[in-house]
Structure 1
Amino acid sequence: MSGGVDSSVTAKLLADQDYDLSAVFMRNWDTRDESGTDSGCEWKKDWEDVQRVCRMLGLKCEMVDLSREYWTRVFEPALDLWEAGSTPNPDIWCNKEVKFGALMDRLTSKNSWLATGHYADKKWALPPLSVSNLFAYGKFPPRPQLRRPLDRSKDQTYYLAAVPEASLARALFPLAPYKKTEVRAMAQKWGLPTASREESMGICFVGEKRKFDDFIAQYIPPKPGPIIDLEGGRILGRHPGLYSYTIGQNARIKGMHQKMFVAKKDPKENAIYVVPGPEHPALYCASITVDKWKWIWEDAPPTGIDGEGFRGRVQYRHRMVDVPGTIQRRADGTIRITFQKPQSSVATGQVAVMWNRDWCLGCGIITATEGSLH
């Protein structure tokens, strides 16, 4: 439980069923690392809300401090990517490494299940039919599939794409058949203490009241460099560090007659290149190279990836509609995804997720973009 309305309703839905149920609150970020004190810390309010809901539902609850695991497995790798000019997504790795990793490892029983307030779904399916299992087909146990929920506007399956199959098998997503409006209405009907609590947005350790650049500057030394017009080569301004901009972002350069957008970052030159207008051809790419790819069903990737490729749906940001694309595995083991139509504002460090309709197959980290239209 996070202290929000979604996990509170999840707890109530399960409490009304015949489960041996208890709640756990994860503390992932230690503000003492920044300020030397816990005063005014947001996690304390979250923990208080969790306890209030649990008292109302008659549930045992505990807090688990996973801040060290979060620091080493999520935050430090993200810092390295930001410093190199990439755009990581820590929330995806938090789910893999912490919530469905370190926390699940601490569950007292291997028969335990972990329920969350994610808007996601899970189905059970038999493995694909092949020559090797033709005669034994039907004897294999069903396997978990990560699926999109009913409420596509709140869909969070993108953030769960890196969760391994073994963890997914022990996961429950009770909010799968509900819309957010229904969840809020249930919370109000039941009088849950978190019913009117606003949604939290943004990266968890940054919070909503701080600017990202100011926060990251506490951990990455400033490294100013030029902002350069990609078309004319003219220096238009300065940046405090490559982490301060991402591909496709409005660079907000003063004195320009037209808005300039980030088209390229050069770590070697410590330079950011911009172009005029949000539809400039240099903002688009035809394909991407993806490293550290993981299929949720590791031993059963889709057919065709070593040949002409598998045609599916691709998502490289949370708030986007998935687009058609073909995924192929190269001889060096890296993955190439070719878009059916060129895509705008694709940044290295982002996570590319592959889908078979509403079935999430796996994901990897974008390391390069190819085929700029410029």
Structure 2
Amino acid sequence: MALDAHPLNSLGFAKPPAETRVVVAMSGGVDSSVVAAMLADEGYDVVGVTLQLYDHGAALAKKGACCAGIDIHDARRVAEMRGFPHYVLDYENVFRDAVIDEFADSYLAGATPVPCIRCNERVKFKDLLETAKDLEADCMATGHYIQRRMGAEGPELHCAADANRDQSYFLFSTTPEQLSFLRFPLGHLPSKAATRELAAQYGLAVADKPDSQDICFVPNGDYASVIEKLRPGAGRPGEIVHADGRVLGKHDGVIRYTIGQRRGLGVGGLAEPLYVVALDVDNARVVVGPKAMLATRTVPLREINWLGDEPFTSRAEWPVSVRVRSTRPPTEAVLRPLSETTGTVELMNAEEGVSPGQACVFYETGGSRVLGGGWIWKG
């Protein structure tokens, strides 16, 4: 190291924090507020940015949702208290085009989408990241619970220290280029309680604020009503049919059902428990059957984002662990590339309820590194 070289600061730059500009994506919740307060306390040149993602006075908005009106106010209060600039950007049109419309169309096609992943991919880590660069920031920091570590080939994505808070499933589509610009200061913390303790230490009014819901624009978890507002006539009625061909009942729209669903089928009185095993959108049919019909070992993927050190197609297969839903633990599998962005996962043990529209995220077997992921589709 040269004698005049400055040691790396906590964000990895060889200069003083005061000369390091960092844009903090502030949702108004406790996590991003702590990140902003922490970096400001360390002396960084912090700029807070909050995105207005949808019309807060409309029926789609709900109390306690991410990026709702009160959250913008809370983010602004943190910035005023800690003495750094804060901007609110109107991203309603971008959010609707990039996230909400696809959410509705995916349900209409019989898939079960994960809009939070698309929001990170298409809004926060794309447009907002570019805005951060326009503001001449050295990096952008978020309150996500995930870790960025430097490896032999550059920055790597790793699971959060707290497995209960880990958000790696929702960040699999982060590209190497984005990862070089992003920072996740909370990923090493042992628990959410530790984050709230920091918030209290910094005197933040949001220290005890409840966590936001995953899907910010869905009131009370009622997906169907949102889709019907966005796509009038989407609740087309039809038949509930057993896999053996028997008609068991009627439904008020395929959009009200997801693969693997058991409750609320409206076909009680049968000897065996039934699950949704398929959605026939063209014929407006919900197909039900025994639990065994949900089991599968083959998962077709597209839009794969690969974060490994070697090129994705450099091997015929990759031994990995995968998660096919955010709520499930990783399970051993073999990933076989078909192209740069498509492939097939073979699960060592069959999983139930693997659904088109969900993500399949790859992990280093026995380790914490995130190797990427892809979107499950029907094949």
TM-score by length of 1: 0.85
Q: Is residue 223 of structure 1 aligned with residue 274 of structure 2?
A: no
Q: Is residue 266 of structure 1 aligned with residue 280 of structure 2?
A: yes
Q: What residue identity is the alignment partner of 1:358?
A: S
What is the Cα deviation at residue 260 of structure 1? 2.5
Structure 2 residue runs of 5 or longer lacking an equivalent are: 1-25
Q: Is the 8 Å Cα contact of residues 251 and 259 (structure 1) preserved in structure 2?
A: no
The percent identity for this pair of structures is 28
Q: Could you say which residue in structure 2 is the equivalent of 1:126?
A: 152
CA distance in 2, matches of 1:247, 1:85: 9
Report the secondary structure of 1:282's partner residue. helix
Q: Could you say which residue in structure 2 is the equivalent of 1:140?
A: none
CA distance in 1, matches of 2:287, 2:259: 10
Report the secondary structure of 1:218's partner residue. helix
Q: What residue identity is the alignment partner of 1:116?
A: T
Report the secondary structure of 2:206's partner residue. coil
> 145-154 vs 190-199, which deviates more?
190-199
Q: What residue identity is the alignment partner of 1:365?
A: W
What is the Cα deviation at residue 170 of structure 1? 0.8
CA distance in 1, matches of 2:338, 2:70: 49
Q: Is the 8 Å Cα contact of residues 50 and 72 (structure 2) preserved in structure 1?
A: yes
Equivalent residue in structure 2 for 1:155, among 166, 184, 187: 166
> 313-322 vs 185-194, which deviates more?
185-194
What is the Cα deviation at residue 332 of structure 1? 9.8
CA distance in 2, matches of 1:165, 1:331: 19
Equivalent residue in structure 2 for 1:177, among 188, 213, 226: 188
CA distance in 2, matches of 1:332, 1:18: 42
Pairing 1:47-196 to 2, within 5 Å after superposition: 47-107=72-132, 108-109=134-135, 111-127=137-153, 143-178=154-189, 179-196=191-208
What is the Cα deviation at residue 171 of structure 1? 0.7
What is the Cα deviation at residue 14 of structure 1? 0.9
Q: Is residue 11 of structure 1 aligned with residue 36 of structure 2?
A: yes
Q: Could you say which residue in structure 2 is the equivalent of 1:138?
A: none
Structure 1 residue runs of 5 or longer lacking an equivalent are: 128-142, 370-374
Q: What residue identity is the alignment partner of 1:155?
A: D
What is the Cα deviation at residue 268 of structure 1? 3.0
Residues 1:269 and 1:40: Cα distance change in structure 2 (over 3 Å): closer
Equivalent residue in structure 1 for 2:342, among 331, 334, 339: 334
Residues 1:270 and 1:319: Cα distance change in structure 2 (over 3 Å): same
Residues 1:18 and 1:102: Cα distance change in structure 2 (over 3 Å): same
Q: Is the 8 Å Cα contact of residues 321 and 363 (structure 2) preserved in structure 1?
A: yes
Report the secondary structure of 1:100's partner residue. helix
TM-score by length of 2: 0.84
What is the Cα deviation at residue 246 of structure 1? 0.9
CA distance in 2, matches of 1:202, 1:68: 20
Residues 1:114 and 1:332: Cα distance change in structure 2 (over 3 Å): closer
Post-superposition Cα deviations, 1:187-231, rounded to whole Å, max 9, x if no partner, equal: 223331101111112311114x3522212111232221211122x
What is the Cα deviation at residue 267 of structure 1? 2.4
Q: Is the 8 Å Cα contact of residues 313 and 339 (structure 2) preserved in structure 1?
A: no
Residues 1:32 and 1:185: Cα distance change in structure 2 (over 3 Å): closer
Q: Is the 8 Å Cα contact of residues 84 and 267 (structure 1) preserved in structure 2?
A: yes
Q: Could you say which residue in structure 1 is the equivalent of 2:304?
A: 293
Q: How many correspondences in the alignment?
A: 344
Report the secondary structure of 2:312's partner residue. coil
Q: Is the 8 Å Cα contact of residues 162 and 363 (structure 1) preserved in structure 2?
A: yes
Q: What residue identity is the alignment partner of 1:296?
A: L
CA distance in 1, matches of 2:268, 2:204: 51
Q: What residue identity is the alignment partner of 2:363?
A: W
Q: Is the 8 Å Cα contact of residues 362 and 371 (structure 2) preserved in structure 1?
A: yes
Q: What residue identity is the alignment partner of 1:103?
A: L
Q: Is the 8 Å Cα contact of residues 251 and 262 (structure 1) preserved in structure 2?
A: no
Report the secondary structure of 1:121's partner residue. strand
In angstroms, what is the RMSD of aligned CA positions? 2.3
